[in-house]
């Protein structure tokens, strides 16, 4: 049994993570911007707290006493290029101060490298309207890569995209970029929690797809 803090617990990925963590017997701190909107998350093994993942002091205070953290947050009202970089800096600093050694973050397939080592977002034909958001994600990743703390971070993303209506199979597999592949939020949560319970990948970005 572990103490896990989930930033962005109110979103689809975050909710799936909370459910899977509870299923495995973990205790969960669910961090959201407005706890009053997410009372349905509360129950045995879960406590809901308000917090700002872009504030290192808040991260340190919230994460104290936890074994691992999951980052699934996004603020649609913020500038992406500001949010993801600020969140990465705050997590690196705040988790270190809290003594949390493992961070698993939700990423984008667009920032995964293709077989020739080029990020998908840099390949010919990639929709340019999505590029600013993808660059913002990549900037957050760069902060993690440049960090010199002992934080054992990992970014996990769908190899293609989420299957928003998918019920899930209870299985997943590791995969390189494959825009035709899909994974349910439930199966994605399995991958994130497996990397908390028995870490296999470290300081890198990996893709997963439904099996």
pLDDT at 4: 98
Q: How many domains does the chain have?
A: 1
CATH number of the domain residue 15 falls in: 3.40.50.720
pLDDT at 1: 72
Q: In this predicted model, what pLDDT tens digit does every residue of 15-37 receive, in sequence order?
A: 999 999 999 999 999 999 999 99
Cα 6 from Cα 63, distance rounded (Å): 9
Domain membership of residue 152 as a residue range:
3-210
CA distances from 112 to 134, 156, 158, 176, 195 (A): 10, 10, 9, 8, 18
- Round the average pLDDT of the chain to a whole number and report it: 95
pLDDT at 140: 97
């Amino acid at each position: 049994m572990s103490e896990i803090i989930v930033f962005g617990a109110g979103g689809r990925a975050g909710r799936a993570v909370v459910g899977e963590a509870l299923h495995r017997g973990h205790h969960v701190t669910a961090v959201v911007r407005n706890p009053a909107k997410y009372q349905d998350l509360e129950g045995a093994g879960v406590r809901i707290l308000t917090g700002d993942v872009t504030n290192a002091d808040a991260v340190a205070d919230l994460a104290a006493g936890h074994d691992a953290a999951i980052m699934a947050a996004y603020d649609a009202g913020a500038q992406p290029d500001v949010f993801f970089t600020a969140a990465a800096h705050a997590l690196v600093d705040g988790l270190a101060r809290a003594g949390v050694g493992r961070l698993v973050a939700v990423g984008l397939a667009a920032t995964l490298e293709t077989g020739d080592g080029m990020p998908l977002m840099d390949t010919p034909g990639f929709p340019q309207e999505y590029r600013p958001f993808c660059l913002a994600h990549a900037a957050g990743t760069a902060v993690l890569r440049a960090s010199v703390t002992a934080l054992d971070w990992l970014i996990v993303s769908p190899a293609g995209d989420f299957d928003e209506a998918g019920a899930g199979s209870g299985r997943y597999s590791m995969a390189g970029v494959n825009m035709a592949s899909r994974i349910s939020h439930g199966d994605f949560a399995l991958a994130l929690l497996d990397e908390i319970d028995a870490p296999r990948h470290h300081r890198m970005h990996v893709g997963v797809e439904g099996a």
